[in-house]
Amino acid sequence: MTGRTMLLDSASLYFRGFYGVPDTVRAPDGTPVNAIRGFLDIIAKLVTDYGPESLVACWDDDWRPRWRVDLIPSYKAHRVAREVPGGVDVEEVPAELVVQVPVIREVLDALGIAIVGAAQHEADDVIGTLATVTPGPVDVVTGDRDLFQLVDDDRDVRVVYTARGMSNLEVLTDAAIVAKYGIHANQYADFAVMRGDSSDGLPGVAGVGEKTAGALLAEYGDLSGIEAAAADPASAMKPALRTRFAAAVDYLSVAPTVVEVVRDLPLGDVDARLRGPDDAQRATLESLGERWALGGSLDRCLAALTAAAARS
């Protein structure tokens, strides 16, 4: 039987590590290492608790893809520190975290963890593609609600949701999505389009919050059905809602493309099976651990990965 694959929303997790571990945790040269150590401890806990056979650190090669911005210019606009014409805009990230990200990649590589990104796409799109094409059960680890759209009970794709903290993780199946929002996971993208999300600069449909969006999906099935009802004078939709959807027609013509994760990126073969580090990688880990004072965090992560590799 194919073992479980775990897909990490890497930025979501190293941000959590950064804010969860005091910035007084530093390397001998004074460089902060709280995000690195926090991320390693998160991986150790996840691997120990959920026992994946394969593990992928999914990466934001482009955290704000131009094709999404072209459709909705406000998309993540409030998080831009500096625009880069023709390139990847610089995200507003604490300087103390910026210096740690390259080290995180070095450590993950030495641990034998696959790092996968895609040009002009976010980690969400990498996760969406791998969750779609990977045989066997999949756990998506994230603090981002947008990835709820990937939950699929038939294929055993779950979301391990971190928003309430690592000591209070939620494992979301379709039943859990229904309990939370009154909709199924395959309706979540339409739900998110209507609700909007200020943290991503998505305005949503004015006056349509979670309760109304959920009720509309329960009645009409999907966004296309809702839009058809809004445009049909004979439907039972209330006039106020008709007006709101009519006013949002331009937004609704592009928002689904922005909100829905890409599921067909040409990622090639991703070898993510946990094998444990070889001798050369162990030597690199020893050097990195000493240089960056990674201490028990690295030890715990290495032990968890080694145990998982032995089980598989």
Q: For residue range 80-111, what is the model confidence (pLDDT) as tens digits?
A: 999 999 889 999 999 999 999 999 999 999 99
230 pLDDT more than 70? yes
Conformational region of residue 159, where left means phi above 0, alpha means psi within -120 to 50, and beta covers everything else: beta
pLDDT one-digit tens code per residue, 241-292: 999 999 999 999 999 999 999 999 999 999 999 998 899 999 999 999 999 9
| Band of pLDDT at residue 1, cut at 50, 70 and 90 | very low
**Quick one: which of 126, 151, 135, 145 has its CA closest to 56?**
126
Q: How many residues does the chain have?
A: 312
Whose tokens are 């007006």? That residue is: 243
Amino acid identity at 213: A
pLDDT one-digit tens code per residue, 164-203: 999 999 999 999 999 999 999 999 999 999 999 999 999 9
pTM above 0.85, yes or no: yes
pLDDT one-digit tens code per residue, 105-159: 999 999 999 999 999 999 999 999 999 999 999 999 999 999 999 999 999 999 9
**Quick one: which of 25, 59, 20, 58 has its CA closest to 38?**
20
State the Cα–Cα distance between residues 159 and 124, nearest whole angstrom. Answer: 12
311 pLDDT more than 90? no
For residue 2, what pLDDT is reported?
60
Strand partners, 54: 5, 273
Percent composition of the chain: helix, strand, coil (DSSP 3-state, to 5): 50, 10, 35
State the Cα–Cα distance between residues 309 and 303, nearest whole angstrom. Answer: 10
3 state DSSP class of 186: helix
Q: What is the DSSP letter of 153?
A: T
Whose tokens are 């690195």? That residue is: 36
Contact between 116 and 126 (Cβ < 8 Å): yes
Contact between 100 and 293 (Cβ < 8 Å): no
For residue 111, what pLDDT is reported?
97
Across the range 200-229, mean pLDDT stands at 97
Q: Is 198 exposed, middle or buried (0-12, 13-18, 19+ CB in 10 A)?
A: exposed
Cβ-proximal residues to 231 (8 Å cutoff; 6+ apart), any chain? 242, 245, 246
